[in-house]
Amino acid sequence: MGESRQMRCSFAFLGLLVSSLAVAQPNWRLKWSDEFSGATGSAPDSTKWVYDLGAGGWGNRELQTYTNATDNAYLDGRGNLVIRVLRSSAGAHTSARIKSLGKFDFQYGKVEARIKIPFGQGIWPAFWAMGTDIRTVGWPRCGEIDILENIGKEPSIVHSTIHGPGYSGGDGITSAYSLPGGQRFADEFHTFSAVWTPTSIEFAVDGVPFQKVTPSSLAAGKAWVFTKPFFLLLNVAVGGNWPGPPDATTVFPQLMVVDYVRVFQELADDVGR
C-alpha cells in the first residue's frame, strides 16, 4: 500500500528526531569500576579503596566509630559490597567509611552507583566525592559532591548537594528527589548518578535528572571549585546534627548494599589523560 505524503513527512521527521537525540547522547567510556566480586566475607579491594578510621564526630557530632573490620565492610559473595552498622550491648555504634583517595581520582564524566540503602531514625548513608587536594587546602575549599545522602527518618527522599567555600554545611546547594506513593528507597536497589562537566553537575536517580547546578547557582563572589580531580567515598554514619540520634524505633544491624560503582568519561575527555 502506498504511503501518503503526510506519512512520509512524519516518518522523515521522526528519523531526524531520533538521529538528533542519538547525536546528543554522550559517548561514554568506562574509566574505572568496582563490581565487588570476591569471596564471601572478604574485605573491599585494597587496590581501589582505603578506610577512614576512628570516632570524634567527623565534624557533625556523629556517634559511630569507623573501623576496617570485615564485620563492618565486606563482600557478600553475590557481587555486592555491604557496609554494616552495628550497635553493641553497651550502645556503641560501629560502621565503615571507604574512599578511593590515593587509589583513584577523576575529573569530569559520569559517576554512578547502584545501591540499596539502609533505613531508620539516625541512619545516614552517603555516596559522594571530595577534591583530592583536601590534604593541602582543607574542607570546604577542596569541594564536595554529594551524589546520594539520606537521613533515615525520610525513607522516601534522597538529597544531592555540592559544598564549597561560602556554600558548605547547611548552606550547600542542594535538592531532593522523592519516590512516589510513599515507596522506600530501602526496599530495593536504585541507581544514583552525577554527570560532571567543567561548568555543571547534574544529579539523577534511576536515570531521571532532578538537579543541575552551575557556577550561576552560586551566590555572587563564590568560587566554583569543581575543575580538578575528585575521589570517591561510601559510608554510613549514625546520628549527627542533621539526622539526629537513633531512637527506640531504630533496628540494628543496618546494611547499605552496593552492587557497583562506575565512572565513565566521554571519549573527548579522555584525550591526554
Q: Would you call 192 helix, strand, or coil by DSSP?
A: strand
| Predicted confidence (pLDDT) at residue 77 exceeds the cutoff of 80 | yes
Which residues contact residue 140 at a Cβ distance below 8 angstroms, ignoring those fewer than 6 apart? 163, 164, 165, 167, 168, 169
Asked about 266 being catalytic, the answer comes back as no
Asked about 202 being catalytic, the answer comes back as no
For the chain, the structural domain boundaries read: 28-36+98-250+258-270
User: With the CA atoms of 38, 40, 43 and 47 taken in that order, what torsion angle do they form, in degrees rounded to the nearest 10?
Assistant: 0
pLDDT score at 26 = 74
- Residue 24 binned pLDDT confidence (cut-offs 50, 70, 90): low
**CA max distance for the chain:** 81
Contact 247, 121 (CB under 8 A): yes
Classify domain 28-36+98-250+258-270 by CATH architecture. Sandwich (2.60)
In the set 3, 35, 62, 144, the catalytic residue is: 144
Segment 161-190, tens digit of pLDDT: 999 999 999 999 999 999 999 899 999 999
Segment 216-243, tens digit of pLDDT: 999 999 999 999 999 999 999 999 999 9
- Please tell me the distance from the alpha carbon of residue 72 to that of residue 24, in angstroms, as a whole number: 42
* Per-residue DSSP letter, 48: T
In the set 3, 35, 112, 149, the catalytic residue is: 149
What's the pTM?
0.89
Burial (0-12, 13-18, 19+ Cβ within 10 Å), 96: buried
State the cell numbers at 213: 547546578
